[in-house]
Structure 1
């Protein structure tokens, strides 16, 4: 909303699962083939290397601060995207596409060939809160002690210069 961008979200239909992004994943998977990966950051590097022209893929590596808590009702413009209210009415699983408009409204389609129609719900006006959505996490999320211990055991087959990453993983 702050950048005045319209976002269209399309849902796959059974039997029609090919998407433009499939080619991106294919290129990255080919680059990953027969490569040893010891750190998550290596995935970002390999993803950038996967395409040279017209330019390398842009990789954004989020950390815990990236994730916002959009589940707080006070921050929701719509409490539901359900189309109907009673038995026999269209429901969320009937939606084929959603369009999120910069003014905060949402439009939907029940068929890809249909025109977008406004969601039959009244949006709340909360534009002043958009940039202040609270973080979902206060710190890095810990893994279980068992997983931590298993990763420590794997250090026997991981290069020593990667050990610090595994040593510094938070666990509970």
Structure 2
């Protein structure tokens, strides 16, 4: 609003006329029922490119054909998502859910300018949202307990699958359909696929697991609504320590039910990444074609079936199959812990947090929590795995 007012004032000065006050200008602006557009978090690169090419007249026949194929895929994916959501409400043996990692929750979380330039402790939240009943389960952990990579995400989904299996009655079996985005470092990788296959064969109540990837920039998952609710709830709240996050997240939603929060420690994470060569040793499918991992739209595992079914398009539904478990039998494979001890934070980050404690920006009752964080001068601040989606189209 200030920028618009300054432009207005400059225009009035150029014409030699008197400008109204800022308050009068703001009230007049609001009377037109106008608002500032806030861009969405995710935008489709292809859609933006086509929009700009159309505006500049640079659109050619190849672009039109590519865009038409993409739009067919977009509408087919959305229709499939709607159909799965409808079916899960009518079919008791089908569970449809989505999962996503929320943006990093930095701690301390406050509007104080004293915290603006200080390095903060990272806290993570992986949410699983069940479409049938709106139940949301949040798996949370701090950066000393784990990263935000494929092993951590796979562990969270594995724990959710195990919880679902425990809720089932005797002899009851489920088909599970999961939706997520295209982030290759977290979701679309052999680590995740290995975990899903392992649980499909191991859990008695799971008959099949199907993982479907929504198009980049066109994700519409229930997990996003949970993250939006949490973001709104904490917007004007102060969270001073990592230990407060589970309680804050639990209170963020009341309808249709409070969020279920499970705090994870370093010992809870399982090393699924080390198993991927046992389950996915090949790069070719059963027909001898190269498996295009980045182009996958769906992958399905069925109990007692040693092949994964793969779809590269939700529109054409052409199916491919790849053999699993080439090196050892299923019974010989064990899942080990990913970490034997807590991870370290950098000395620089630790000093920044201690400085906030020293200045009493962080209340005294939280000082011990921060002073006990493991740290080392050999540990450097680094970027964790990217949570950007893979927009590659093959």
Compare relative contact order (CA 8 Å, sep 6+) and give the higher one, 1 or 2. 1
Match of 1:162 among 357, 363, 366: 366
Distance 1:85 1:147 in 2: 50
The aligned counterpart of 1:58 is 260
Aligned length: 169
CA-CA distance at 1:105 after TM superposition = 4.5
The aligned counterpart of 1:110 is 312
Query: Which range moves more in the overlay, 137-146 or 45-54?
Result: 45-54
Distance 1:171 1:58 in 2: 31
TM-score for both structures, normalised by structure 1: 0.81
CA-CA distance at 1:115 after TM superposition = 5.0
- Over residues 30-83 of structure 1, what are the superposed CA-to-partner deviations in whole Å (9 max), with x where a residue is unaligned? 111101111223221121112223321111111111212223258732225665
The structure-2 alpha-carbon separation of the partners of 1:15 and 1:73, relative to structure 1 and needing over 3 Å to count, comes to: closer
Aligned-residue RMSD, C-alpha: 2.7
Question: The residue matched to 1:79 in structure 2 has which SS?
Answer: coil
The structure-2 alpha-carbon separation of the partners of 1:82 and 1:142, relative to structure 1 and needing over 3 Å to count, comes to: farther
Unaligned runs of 5+ in 2: 1-198, 377-394
CA-CA distance at 1:111 after TM superposition = 1.5
TM-score for both structures, normalised by structure 2: 0.39
Q: Which has the higher strand share?
A: 2
Larger radius of gyration: 2
Q: Which has the higher helix share?
A: 2
Question: The residue matched to 1:30 in structure 2 has which SS?
Answer: helix
The aligned counterpart of 1:95 is 296
Asked if structure 2 preserves the Cα contact closer than 8 Å seen for 1:27 and 1:51, the reply is: yes
The structure-2 alpha-carbon separation of the partners of 1:90 and 1:34, relative to structure 1 and needing over 3 Å to count, comes to: same
CA-CA distance at 1:10 after TM superposition = 2.0
